[in-house]
Amino acid sequence: MSFKQFKALTFDVVGTLIDFEAGILNHVREVAGEAGKACSDDDILKAYREARAMPDSGWWPDDLERCYHLIANKLGLPDNDEYARGLALAVENFPAFPDSIEALKRLHKHFKLVATTNSQIWALNHMAKTLDEPFDVRVTVDDVRFEKPDPQFFAYTRGVLATQGIVFEEILHVAQSQYHDIGVAMRLGYQTCWIERRHAQKGSGGTLESEHTKPHYHFTSLAQLADAVEQELG
């Protein structure tokens, strides 16, 4: 398989380019004080993951407000509406992974970069700024009205790119989440690249657990993908 066939990289953003786990942990520990410090990363992320898996979950990141109340209740943390809403608003300051900005600049020399995110547009606008505005196209849950892994999200994205002359075979989907992205994208016939951000860590962290689907490409960082592209394309 050659990178020459691709014209667009469609990116999951939250978890692939933006370190949402660090953002959640930072906020919880900041507002919860000593009680938060007593909880392990796994404790907090497990409570978050379970909250997001509930059938009444809403669109991200507004849903983080509901999630905070559930996390606080489960772990015995201080709980009030200010802390809860603050977790949703903290997305403005969620950090990029250390390699994201530089790797996106390198990849942008060869491909159109497309954000495909379950995030609402107001949050993506903040995250895009954090990433130094790399995206040519943005597709959000506000546009699609369905969240990944719903196939309708991927169909909508294909339609958007088709209007720009990019056909299905020219798209490489790049993502961290096996649950939201890699598994469903492979079933739909996409070419996929798994960025295994948690390769050195146990468990699935803040991402919903899923069986692992073997992708076409597999790297443990975005920088490795950029290296592979440059090795082939120069």
**How many alpha carbons lie under 13 Å from residue 16 in its C-beta half-sphere?**
31
Burial bucket for residue 114 (CB in 10 Å: 0-12, 13-18, 19+): buried
Is the bond into 98 cis (omega within 30 degrees of 0)? no
Query: Would you say 100 and 9 are in contact if contact means Cβ atoms under 8 Å apart?
Result: no
Q: Kindly give, in sequence order, each residue whose CB lies less than 8 Å from that of residue 177, ignoring residues fewer than 6 positions away.
A: 12, 15, 16, 148, 207, 208, 210
Query: Would you say 4 and 233 are in contact if contact means Cβ atoms under 8 Å apart?
Result: yes
Cα–Cα distance for residue pair 229/194, rounded to 1 Å: 15
Among all residues, which ones are annotated catalytic?
12
Question: Would you tell me the crossing angle of helices 41-52 and 64-75 to the nearest 10 degrees?
Answer: 130
Cα–Cα distance for residue pair 53/174, rounded to 1 Å: 23
Query: Would you say 145 and 43 are in contact if contact means Cβ atoms under 8 Å apart?
Result: no
With the CA atoms of 51, 53, 56 and 62 taken in that order, what torsion angle do they form, in degrees rounded to the nearest 10?
A: 60
